[in-house]
Structures are given as C-alpha cells and as structure tokens.
A and B are shown apart, each in its own frame.
Chain A
Amino acid sequence: DVKVTQSSRYLVKRTGEKVFLECVQDMDHENMFWYRQDPGLGLRLIYFSYDVKMKEKGDIPEGYSVSREKKERFSLILESASTNQTSMYLCASSLGRRSSNYGYTFGSGTRLTVV
C-alpha cells in the first residue's frame, strides 16, 4: 500500500512565523500535491509537482511556496503565517507523469492553527 505521511497532525503557530509542512510518500510516485480544506469550500489546490525540482501553482498559491528536492518529499512553506491560513492541509501523491487516469493517495492531514 502506498503511504503518504504528513509530519504533524496538529500544529499551532504564531502570526508571522515561517511554517514548514512536510509530506513524504514511499511508493516512488512522480506527482505530489498540496491542498487546503475549508468548510464549504472543499479542497483547493495550492501547489503541485510532477517531478523533482519542478513545481506548478495551483488555484490558491498566494502566501505559500513549495520545495521538492527529493522525489519522495514535498514541503509546503508558509513564508509568514497569517490567521487566514488556519486550515486543514492535505498532501497527496499519484503515479504517472501528467497521467489523468490515476487516483490520488492522501495523507491524514495537518490541522494548522495560526494565532
């Protein structure tokens, strides 16, 4: 079974802090994704990556950046956390470069609270 592991389940950070959310997958998937989930809005794509050192903006990239130095790891960075970034963050991975027929495997999520 593919496993996607997010380093923290719950996180509380202060406004203005730099925050790193880590995601690791163990099945050699090419594609990795970061979503945020908010009530009534579903899941919205922040950034994604099809390969090492590649990144592409999703629908709501403002205030975020990402890093993919190794194939198995995809980090989401909040450069200066703000209260409107309080949310559930979900990482996902999938097999197949730019392939549309594969589903995603999700991590358990990180619930980030910015105070």
Chain B
Amino acid sequence: AQKVTQAQTEISVVEKEDVTLDCVYETRDTTYYLFWYKQPPSGELVFLIRRNSFDEQNEISGRYSWNFQKSTSSFNFTITASQVVDSAVYFCALRVQGGKLIFGQGTELSVKP
C-alpha cells in the first residue's frame, strides 16, 4: 500500500519556538519522491521541497530544515524560530512510479504572537 501519515492534526506554538511536523510514509517502490507543501489561508498549495529516495542528506533552507530517514520511513519538517507567517496547513506527499502524488492528512500549524 502507498500511504502518507501525518499524525499531528493541529499544532499550536508561540512565536520563536521551534516546531517539528512529522511525516511517515509507506511504499514498496524503490524509487520515489517526497514533498512538503504549505497551504496558507489563501488556499493555494506552495511547494517547499522535494527529496528523492536515494538522497538521504538533510536539507536546510533558512529557518526550514528537513530530516529524511529511510530506515524509519520518515520525512520530518522543522521550522526554527517560528513566525506568525508560518501559520498554515502543511502537507507531506509521496510520489511513486506512475506519477500520482499521495498526500497526508495535513497538519495545521498555528503560530501565536
């Protein structure tokens, strides 16, 4: 089965706190791609990062970092020093052979001033 699980439905933090959004995936494919998208209140999904299954290097982009661990089938997303503008719904997604993108349920992050 191909599946993405984001166990955290909602997270609330205070500005400047660090926060980690969890993502666990299932697939039998040996080649696959993992994504994170952000959906602000405007509704449009914004691409954040893509990682292929052969590249387990962690990635850092400003206040964002991603930890990909194949051994635990996880692709977690950390925001350092969160800001109010980070408030959004975040989706983790898995793209397998054949091209379909399978989404997790989403995590709604609320950053309070």
Q: Which residues of A come within 8 Å of B, CB atoms?
A: 31, 33, 35, 40-45, 48, 50, 58, 88, 90, 92, 94, 96, 98-101, 103-109, 111
Contacts and interface: CB of A to CB of B under 8 A. Distances in A.
A43 B99 contact: no
B105 A42 contact: yes
Nearest to A4: B44
B40 to A, nearest CB: 11
Given A33-B101, A100-B95, A107-B44, 18 more contacts: A35-B103, A40-B9, A42-B4, A42-B105, A42-B106, A44-B103, A45-B100, A48-B99, A50-B99, A88-B43, A98-B99, A100-B32, A101-B52, A101-B95, A105-B47, A106-B37, A108-B42, A109-B43
B64 interface: no
A106 B44 contact: yes
Q: Is the interface of B mostly helix, strand, loop or mixed?
A: loop
A92 B100 CA distance: 11
Contacts of B35: 103
A14 B20 CA distance: 42
Contacts of B77: none
Given A107-B44, A108-B42, A108-B43, A40 B97 contact: no
Interface centre among A90, A99, A103, A104 (most CB of B within 10 A): A103
Interface in B1-56: 4, 6, 9, 31-33, 35, 37, 42-45, 47, 50, 52
Contact of B98 (A41, A98, A106): A98
B61 to A, nearest CB: 15
9 contacts: A35-B103, A42-B104, A88-B43, A90-B45, A92-B101, A98-B99, A101-B95, A103-B35, A104-B45
B99 A100 contact: yes
B103 A42 contact: yes
Contacts of B104: 42
B105 A94 contact: no
B31 A100 contact: yes
